[in-house]
Structures are given as structure tokens and as C-alpha cells.
Amino acid sequence: MSAQPALAVENVTMRFGGLVALSEVSLEVAAGEIVAVIGPNGAGKSTLFNVVTGLYRPTAGRVRVAGEEVTGRPTHQIVALGVARTFQSSRLFTGVSVLDNVIIGMHALSPPSVLQALLLWGRTRRELRLAAERAERILQSVGGNLYEQRYRLAEELAQADRRRLEVARALAGEPKLLLLDEPTAGMDDRDTDALIEDIRRIRRDRPQLAIVVVEHDMRLVAALPERVAVLDYGRKIAESVFDEIRLNPWVQEAYLGSTTIDD
Ligand SMILES: Nc1ncnc2c1ncn2[C@@H]1O[C@H](COP(=O)(O)OP(=O)(O)OP(=O)(O)O)[C@@H](O)[C@H]1O
Ligand SMILES: [Mg+2]
């Protein structure tokens, strides 16, 4: 096992013109660890993911993945180091099957494009069969009944299953670092609980996988992560275990209501 953190964000600042989306943000995530990032709309959470995955080059600061500096490198190089993500708004390939969405995920983990679909062509039957078998195992491993729905079109899935499929697709590249951007968006409590179980199972099966999850839903934030980082206007204003974070006045105000929290 490498002693290097799976992810090290060091003093990252990201400016868009006069807007400071991230201001000297640092965050470390060890292999096997789950860290949640919370904060209000516009706090810079997705920007952080975009910087880590090379979509944005930070104005200042560094990003290291498994010890290797990746600041400003193109996304495909960062993906090759074992970084996968899901997007806040669904980026599934709606015109293809659930199974093919996962197979596509094995080849490239950036937002899907027609080019990626074309990657499916020109493969030998044996390659395709092996890929399909692997994709089926991944679908079985994420829970729910995605596996049973594997031949349906992605667009026919219920919202919760689409989110699940995005996670499955991200896992297809066997990442070392998984970034989930609001995976429970649009889910009710029941689906959220199911997703929490999915993530627990994923972690059990992949004990070295580091996960960063941007999340608004306190159910998930309370249930999963070892640590919680709070962003506000691009600054990290707190970072601790959930039991401490929940006592933070800002967090109480923003997320938990101003009344005391019942256990
Ligand atoms: N490409 C861009 N160009 C200009 N401004 C941007 C760009 N990307 C993000 N921003 C701005 O940076 C700030 C942070 O945005 P970001 O999407 O990271 O917030 P967020 O914390 O993910 O919010 P939400 O909870 O709504 O998803 C916002 O003010 C946003 O408008
Ligand atoms: Mg966002």
C-alpha cells in the first residue's frame, strides 16, 4: 500500500475573472477513506472536482493524485492515474443500454461522447463478451436491480437507478479515487438509504478505494464519511468528523435547522 494520499489538494485557488470559486483550499484523502464535501450552492464544490479532474486549471495551488502532481494536466492523463467521477447532472448515454453504458465507462471516464460510443465498434466478439461479463459483475455489485435491467435503455431507468448507473460506470475503470457529485440529487429518503448501502458495499468490495462525495443530504453525510469538509464562498471553513461538524454553528444554520439536533 502506498503511503501517499490518494488525493492531495494543496492551497488551490480558482478564479473566474473576478469571481473566486476556490480560495486556498486544501484537502487530503487517504486510500480507503470516504470524505464528504458540503456547502451551499455556489460554494465551489463542483469546481473542486473540475480542478481535480483537469477540466479547470487552478489559478494557484497543486493537485496530487497518489503522490503524482497532476495540476493542469489533461483529463485523460488524470483518468489514467485512476480517477473517476460522476456528474451533478446526469451524463449517461441515453440512447444505449445500461450494460453498454458501463462498457463505455471502461474505456474513458470523461463525459460521454459519440467518440466513446464508437469505441464499442471494431472490438472482437471475444473482447466484447469479456467486457460485457465484467460490466455485468459491476452492475451486480452496485445493488438495486440494475443487473436485471441491463438491456434497457439508460433513459428508461428511474431517477435513482440512473444515479446508480453513473456510479457503476465510474467504477468500470477500476478507479483508485472516486468523486461523486451529489449522487442523491432528486432521490427520496428510501433511494438515498439504498445508495448509502450501495456505497458501503462498494467500499467493502474495494477497501483501497478513496471516495470524495459532494452532498447536500445530511442523511448520507451522517452515515458514510470519515471526515466532512465544509466549503463556503470557495473557502474551506471547517473540516472534521461529522459529530463535530454537526455542532458547527454555520452547519447547524445551513443544514440542520437552528434547533438542537436529536440523536
Ligand atoms: N466555468 C465557469 N465560469 C465562470 N464561473 C464559474 C464556472 N464554474 C463555476 N463557476 C462559478 O464558481 C462558483 C462555484 O460554482 P460550483 O459549481 O463549484 O458550486 P457548487 O458548490 O458545486 O454549487 P451547487 O451546490 O449549486 O452545485 C459559482 O459562483 C459558479 O457560478
Ligand atoms: Mg455543484
Note whether 256 and 188 are same-domain residues.
yes
Match 450494460 to its residue by C-alpha cell: 99
Note whether 125 and 7 are same-domain residues.
no
Note whether 13 and 51 are same-domain residues.
yes
Cα–Cα distance, 249 to 258 (Å, whole number): 8
256 occurs within a structural domain = yes
CB 146 within 8 A of CB 164: yes
**Atom 26 (ligand 1): residue with closest C-alpha?**
41
Note whether 109 and 192 are same-domain residues.
no
Note whether 142 and 214 are same-domain residues.
no
pLDDT one digit per residue (tens) for the chain, 263 residues: 557 999 999 999 999 999 999 999 999 999 999 999 999 999 999 999 999 999 999 999 999 999 999 999 999 899 989 999 998 887 888 888 999 899 888 765 444 555 555 566 666 667 778 888 999 999 988 877 999 999 999 999 988 899 899 999 999 888 999 999 999 988 889 989 999 999 999 999 999 999 999 998 889 999 998 999 999 999 999 999 999 999 988 888 877 664 444 44
Cell of 176: 483508485
The pLDDT, as a whole number, for residue 44 is 97
Last residue of a domain, one of 173, 193, 226: 173
Note whether 50 and 27 are same-domain residues.
yes
The pLDDT, as a whole number, for residue 107 is 65
The pLDDT, as a whole number, for residue 263 is 42
**What residue numbers bound the domain in which 183 lies?**
1-82+175-263
Note whether 37 and 99 are same-domain residues.
no
195 occurs within a structural domain = yes
The pLDDT, as a whole number, for residue 130 is 82
Cα–Cα distance, 214 to 222 (Å, whole number): 13
Note whether 103 and 42 are same-domain residues.
no
- The pTM (predicted TM-score) of the whole model is 0.90
141 occurs within a structural domain = yes
For 249, residues 6+ apart whose C-beta sits below 8 A from its C-beta are: none
Cα 45 to averaged position of ligand 2 atoms, centre (Å): 5
Cα of 142 vs its chain's centroid, Å = 14
The pLDDT, as a whole number, for residue 115 is 54
Best residue among 46, 50, 221 to mutate for probing ligand 1's pocket (most ligand atoms within 8 Å of CB) is 46
- Ligand 1 atom nearest to 231, measured from its CA: 21
CB 43 within 8 A of CB 234: yes
CATH number, residue 48:
3.40.50.300
Cell of 60: 494557484
Note whether 107 and 166 are same-domain residues.
yes
**Atom 17 (ligand 1): residue with closest C-alpha?**
46
Cα of 172 vs its chain's centroid, Å = 13
The pLDDT, as a whole number, for residue 261 is 43
Note whether 11 and 126 are same-domain residues.
no
Cα–Cα distance, 39 to 37 (Å, whole number): 7
From the list 262, 177, 171, the residue with the least C-alpha distance to 222 is 262
87 occurs within a structural domain = no
CB 195 within 8 A of CB 188: no
71 occurs within a structural domain = yes
158 occurs within a structural domain = yes
The pLDDT, as a whole number, for residue 255 is 73
48 occurs within a structural domain = yes
Structural domains counted in the chain: 2
The pLDDT, as a whole number, for residue 63 is 98
**Atom 1 (ligand 1): residue with closest C-alpha?**
16
Note whether 211 and 161 are same-domain residues.
no
Cα–Cα distance, 215 to 175 (Å, whole number): 20
232 occurs within a structural domain = yes
Last residue of a domain, one of 142, 157, 173: 173
Note whether 181 and 257 are same-domain residues.
yes
